[in-house]
Each structure stands twice: as C-alpha cells, then as structure tokens.
Chain A
Amino acid sequence: MTSSPGVIAPPPVISVTGLTKRYRSVPVVDDVSFTCRPGTITGFLGPNGAGKSTTLKMITGLARPDAGEATIAGRRFADLPNPTRYVGTLLDASAMHDGRDGRTTLRIAATMAGVPARRVETVLATVGLTGAAGRRVGTYSLGMRQRLGLGQALIGDPGVLILDEPANGLDPEGIAQIRTLLREFADRGGTVLLSSHLLAEIQASADHLVVIRAGRVVASGATADLLGAQGLLARAVDPEALRRLLRGAGLAHTPGADGSVRLPPGIPAEQVATLAAQAGLALVELRPAGGDLEELFFTLTGTASEGGSR
C-alpha cells in the first residue's frame, strides 16, 4: 500500500449508507444514511433508545448491520489495518477494566496503536487525569471514566473521533473542556461524530446535526439551518395583547400552551421587538424557538418524541 500525504482525504471521511439493524425482526436502526466531512463536528442527536449507539457500533464494526454499509476514509472499519491510528472511539466509558489503573489502561492503548510510551503522559495531561493516573479505574467517577475514554480515543493521534455521549457524567467544566478540545480537533482538519440525547449539549459545538428517532433519520443538515428553521418564540406579560398586536400587524403565529407565541421562520426578531415597543407592550422572552430536543422534534415532525400516540 502506498500512502500519500493527507491520506485521510478525500471527503467525506465517514460515510453511512442505508444502515439497518433488526433485533428479532424489529428494526432498531432503519435505513440510516449520513456523511461526516473533515473539519466538522457532526452531532448525532436523538432520545435514549433511538438507535444512536447501535448505529455507532455498526460503524465501528462491533455490530453487524442487516443491511447497508459504513465506511471510514473509504474503508470498512474492520478493514482499517491499525484502526486507532485513523479513528479514536469512545463508545462506553464504563467498558474499562476496573482492576487496572488509568495509566496502564492508556499504556495498553498506546502499545496497541504503536505510538511512543511518552504520549501516555501527554494525553493524561490533555484529559486532566495526570493526578489520578495511578488509581484503579474501579475507583473513578463516571466523569473520570469519560476523560480516560477520551484519552483512549486520542492516544493513536487519529484524524477521526467517534464518541457516544461523551458529556455523560461530566461536570459543566468538563463539558466546556471537551467542547474546546473537539473544536480544536475539527479546526485542525479532524472529523468528529458525537452523539447526545440533549440538544443543548451539542447545539453550540456541532456544525451539523443528524437527528434520529425510533431508528430513522428525521432531519439532517447544518445546525444553524435546522435550528433557524424553527422561527421565534415570544412571550409577553399580557399574552392576549401580544396576539392582538401580531394579528393587527398581519404576522402569522401559533399560541403555545404556556402563553408563549411561536412565529414561523423568516420574521426577524427586530420586527417583533419594534412592534412591541411601539405598542408599549412588555416582552419577557423573545428568542429563536427550539431550545430543546422536544421542541425540535415537534417542529420537524409535528409530533412529540415520547409518550405521544403514533
């Protein structure tokens, strides 16, 4: 095999085509397709049980798809000669040997990847575990396991990261650190695919979103487009007065159950604010709608994600 500089190219790096997985003939992942390009962070978003982990396990060769295919840099994961040099994975932070200390865990990963042993200390510092490296993993909190798992993913100096709920169990400081780390990774040309069940957790860092629900992709695209497509949410001290005002101005809107009002995309917030100011109406909220996954699902599909009838 000959190699040329920048072998990770050409884009897209991660390519998922029609992935399908059934358990006892019930599809848990149903015809899922998306791509991830270098220099971007892709958020894989969906409620618990939507099929995110199963999809990531099929991408990384741990589960066999019933249909479809996933490739990384043009190859199936299992065909990568030394996978951790291409793809760093963190699929389950609890999947670590409790009886090993953190440093040994990373030493094993470094040896496997064939990188110098000194990289262990570098990565320990990067994920903030230098002080706890001598302790058994069994004594680690979930947040520390996430950090160690991230260290395992980074040890082979890969160009691709695949992370399943990496923010799970991390404190706000840890979440901010991981966000910075992933942004820098992507800015250097890396490709990141990370899953979450919380929109708020990844909407700030993900360039693209792939939204999955009950095994199917319900939306995918640039984060700004998906979230911007949700229009505005406005709330006034006097909800009736606000609705009268909007009707008078000829602006389409739908009232929410909590007294707020939703406006369709395309209406600038400035226009609403000016209207309210001229009418002497006090607004308590005026922001892009879609603050959480529930609202996003609602606007994308018109149904609630859980508990609703189908």
Chain B
Amino acid sequence: MTTHTSRNLRTTQTAAPELAPIPFERLLRVELLKTVGTRAARWLLVASVVSIVGGLGIALIFAHDIDQSRTSYLSAAALGLTRVTPILLLMAMTGEWSQRTAMVTFTQEPRRSRVVAAKATVGLGLASALAVLGGLAAQAAVFAARAGGRHVSAGLAHDGPRIIGYLLFVVLISLVGMAFGALVQNTPAAIVAFFAVGGLANLFSIGALSAVGDWVNTGVTFGWILEGKWSGHGAQMIVSALLWVGLPLALGTRRANRREIR
C-alpha cells in the first residue's frame, strides 16, 4: 500500500467501464486456471498419471492373469483413471463452497449458472484429455508388451467400438463425480455420496432388481459402454447417463442459483 503506485490505481476513473458481459470463453479460462491452479488439483493430476501407469503396470506384469489384448489394457487404464478423475472434477465443483470462494466468484459473475456451465465444460475437457492420455498410455503398453515378445491381440477394425467405449466410460464416470460435486456442494460429503450411491446402485444387480439395475446401475450400464456392447443397450446407457450426470447437474445448478452465500 505504497502511495507512489496509487497513481496507477485508477486510470480510467472518467472513462466508461466495460459494459459488455463477461464472455463465456473468459469464464472457461478462469475455471481452467482454478481447476489446475491449486495444490490439491496438481496432486490429483499427478495421481491421474500414476493411476494410469499403475493400472497398466498390473496388466503388463501379471500377463498370465490378465487377458493380453488391447481392450484389457484399455480397461486397466480406465479402472486406474476413474479412481481419480471423478474426484478431480468433483472438487472443481465443490471448491467454491468448501473454500467459500463462492462469495468472490459470484460477485465477479452474478449469473451463477454460467459459472457452473463453465466448470462443467472445463471438467468435460479435462476428463477427455486425461482419457486420451490414458488411451495413448495403453497403446504404449501394448507396444511394450509386444517388444517383450508377448502376443497381444489388437486389431483396429475389431477394437474401434472398444476404444470409443473406453473414452466414453472414463468421461462419463468422471462427469458423475462432477455432477455429485455440483449437487452436494461440499467436498467430503460429495465424495462420500459419490461412492455410497455407486454402491447402492450396485444393489440393483440382485435378483429381480436387476431389471431396474439394467437402467440405473452404472456398474452394469457403463460396463456395457466400456466393453463396447452398444447394440440393444443404447436407451439404457442414455437413461443411466441422464440419471447420474444430467439430473444432479441440473439440480445442482438450480441449487447454486438459489443458494444464499453467508
């Protein structure tokens, strides 16, 4: 607070302030900066890479227990990644509330649903980027296994749906975490809800309940996506995605719009 800089403090006192609303592109840049600009987020990004390497390492090392095919390598990358990415996106959503920065953010942009939309878009982009990274790592692992003299079955014609399925699976599971963060608006509670509700949905695999589970249990429906079993399950996959991503995200946006910030 030195006075010699105060001359620069207000240079446009008489000039008209910018009247244009904040462009969405700028909100995206801010949210990306926020998502990767904290210590926790940087560790989670490191953890994402570690989880990919870990998942693939297991597939490489335990060659006799794990089917040596591109799809099993992709699954290994997916299972590793999806331990971490949902939490990364979840925390991007809850951070404003848990760290109370909502007070600052929503005075910067009072149209709160635009902020939530920007967070969701950045989350989608980040999850997609990490999914692609995991896919490339899986391909590298396949090359490594072959270089070691192992036979790994992989053919693009056959694997096409599986590759797309893998990418969709990672992105969808990540978005479920994000949607829970948007709805619950508190980091520990959202993490607990994310895992607990996933577990509860799994109950719909028992007996007659599985008829319902085929629509709501992401363990089943997203499993089809991962395995590329599209035919006959399209509607079920879409219903699952709407139920676990669309609905909580919509409710969370409404809640953010209405919530009072103390």
Which A residues lie at the B interface, using CB under 8 A?
Answer: 1, 3-8, 57, 60-64, 77-78, 80-87, 89, 91-92, 94-100, 104, 107-109, 111-114, 122, 125-128, 136, 147, 152, 154, 157-159, 174, 177-178, 180-181, 184-185, 188-190
In the complex, what's the smallest C-beta–C-beta distance from A225 to chain B, in angstroms? Answer: 28
Which residues from chain A contact B109 at a C-beta distance below 8 Å? Answer: 83, 112
Interface size class of B (residues with CB under 8 A): 35 or more
B17, CB-defined interface residue at 8 Å: yes
Q: Are B6 and A108 in contact (CB under 8 A)?
A: no
Q: Are B103 and A95 in contact (CB under 8 A)?
A: yes
A94, B6: Cα distance in complex, Å: 25
Q: Are B2 and A57 in contact (CB under 8 A)?
A: no
Which residues from chain B contact A7 at a C-beta distance below 8 Å? Answer: 16-17, 19
B158, CB-defined interface residue at 8 Å: no
B46, CB-defined interface residue at 8 Å: no
Q: Are B107 and A84 in contact (CB under 8 A)?
A: yes
Which residues from chain A contact B111 at a C-beta distance below 8 Å? Answer: 78
Which one of B1, B33, B39, B101 lies within 8 Å of A126 (CB-CB)?
B1
Q: Which of A64, A111, A147 has the most chain B CB atoms inside 10 A of its CB?
A: A111
Which residues from chain B contact A63 at a C-beta distance below 8 Å? Answer: 260-262
Answer whether A111 and B33 are a contact pair too, CB < 8 Å, given A82-B22, A94-B100, A185-B10: yes
Q: Which of B2, B20, B29, B95 has the most chain A CB atoms inside 10 A of its CB?
A: B2
Q: Are A122 and B100 in contact (CB under 8 A)?
A: no
Between-chain CB contacts (< 8 Å), 18 pairs = A1-B19, A3-B16, A4-B16, A6-B14, A61-B106, A61-B110, A77-B110, A95-B99, A96-B104, A97-B34, A109-B104, A112-B27, A112-B109, A114-B18, A114-B26, A158-B17, A181-B9, A190-B10
Q: Are B19 and A83 in contact (CB under 8 A)?
A: no
Who on chain B is nearest to A127 by CB? B1
Q: Are B40 and A174 in contact (CB under 8 A)?
A: no
The prevalent SS among residues of B at the interface is loop
B8, CB-defined interface residue at 8 Å: yes
Which one of A6, A97, A113 lies within 8 Å of B108 (CB-CB)?
A113
A113, B18: Cα distance in complex, Å: 9
**Extra pairs beyond A6-B14, A57-B260, A157-B17 (16, CB < 8 Å):** A4-B16, A60-B107, A78-B110, A82-B19, A91-B103, A95-B100, A95-B104, A99-B38, A100-B37, A112-B109, A114-B18, A125-B2, A159-B13, A178-B1, A184-B3, A184-B9
Q: Are B5 and A125 in contact (CB under 8 A)?
A: yes
A64, B110: Cα distance in complex, Å: 12
Who on chain B is nearest to A88 by CB? B107
A178, B3: Cα distance in complex, Å: 10
Which one of A4, A62, A84, A157 lies within 8 Å of B12 (CB-CB)?
A157
Q: Which of B21, B27, B107 has the most chain A CB atoms inside 10 A of its CB?
A: B107
Who on chain B is nearest to A152 by CB? B104
Q: Are A86 and B17 in contact (CB under 8 A)?
A: yes
B11, CB-defined interface residue at 8 Å: yes
A136, B39: Cα distance in complex, Å: 9
Q: Are B108 and A96 in contact (CB under 8 A)?
A: no
A189, B262: Cα distance in complex, Å: 31
Answer whether A147 and B107 are a contact pair too, CB < 8 Å, given A6-B14, A85-B17, A114-B22: no
Which one of A4, A89, A190 lies within 8 Å of B13 (CB-CB)?
A190
Answer whether A180 and B20 are a contact pair too, CB < 8 Å, given A57-B261, A83-B107, A188-B13: no
In the complex, what's the smallest C-beta–C-beta distance from B178 to chain A, in angstroms? Answer: 18
Answer whether A64 and B107 are a contact pair too, CB < 8 Å, given A82-B21, A97-B99, A157-B11: no
A250, B261: Cα distance in complex, Å: 57
In the complex, what's the smallest C-beta–C-beta distance from A40 to chain B, in angstroms? Answer: 15
Answer whether A3 and B19 are a contact pair too, CB < 8 Å, given A63-B261, A83-B110, A128-B1: yes
Which residues from chain B contact A113 at a C-beta distance below 8 Å? Answer: 108
In the complex, what's the smallest C-beta–C-beta distance from A150 to chain B, in angstroms? Answer: 8
A156, B110: Cα distance in complex, Å: 15
In the complex, what's the smallest C-beta–C-beta distance from B187 to chain A, in angstroms? Answer: 12
In the complex, what's the smallest C-beta–C-beta distance from B17 to chain A, in angstroms? Answer: 4
Q: Are B40 and A188 in contact (CB under 8 A)?
A: no
Who on chain B is nearest to A189 by CB? B13
B15, CB-defined interface residue at 8 Å: yes
Which residues from chain A contact B9 at a C-beta distance below 8 Å? Answer: 122, 126, 154, 157, 181, 184-185
Q: Which 3 A-B pairs have the closest CB atoms?
A: A177-B1, A99-B38, A3-B16
Which residues from chain B contact A89 at a C-beta distance below 8 Å? Answer: 104, 107
